[in-house]
Amino acid sequence: MQIDGNTLLSMAEFEVFKEKFIAHAKDFARGACLRPIFSLPRLRDAHYAWRDDLSRLTQHEKNLGGGLDHFKQCAHLAYWLRRLYPIADYEDIAAAVGEVDDLYPDEQKRRNFIVKYGSEYLAFDFGFQICSYYALERTDNPMTAAPELSTEYLVDVCHMLKFKHVSPHSMYLIYKSLLMGLP
């Protein structure tokens, strides 16, 4: 996914948002020889709910000063993507060409992860990748690269997203704590 300083602003338009999310999901699933099948109504609902939250926050938060930061915007984005499950299913690309038994171990691991936590991971990672770009562009951030998240950490995050209520406010703290470092 191509991220630049205009990414969050440009994703206010549904078509841009759809293009970026679909590209991100396809890139992730390709590593497991899968193709995501999208529910465009759910993707549209996720976009609408995200934009509605941002609008409401902008109107009611008294201490915003410069507007909503990338952490808050991405936290709400991840929340709605996780909640509304815009990926309905996955098509097995390997089975379509008769190579399902020929998956490499890494492809099989990724496939198992997608089957278990695909929607949760994509929601988290979509927001994380965007936050990473914006956080690393800040001059007051002491980090020079986004942290490498361990498989164990990702499984824990995805498990929580799937089975517990994780609010946008919690997502905000997760993203900020991962990307702003300690003073």
Tokens representing 183 are 């003073």
Task: Give the confidence band of 181 by pLDDT, cuts at 50, 70, 90.
Answer: low
Owner of token pair 């994380």: 128
What lies within 8 Å, CB to CB, of 103 at 6+ separation is 32, 33, 94, 111
pLDDT in tens, 1-44: 788 889 999 999 999 999 999 999 999 999 888 999 999 999 99
Cα–Cα distances in angstroms (integers) from residue 179 to residues 74, 104, 142, in the given order: 13, 32, 9
pLDDT in tens, 96-145: 665 556 778 888 888 899 999 999 999 999 999 999 998 888 777 777 88
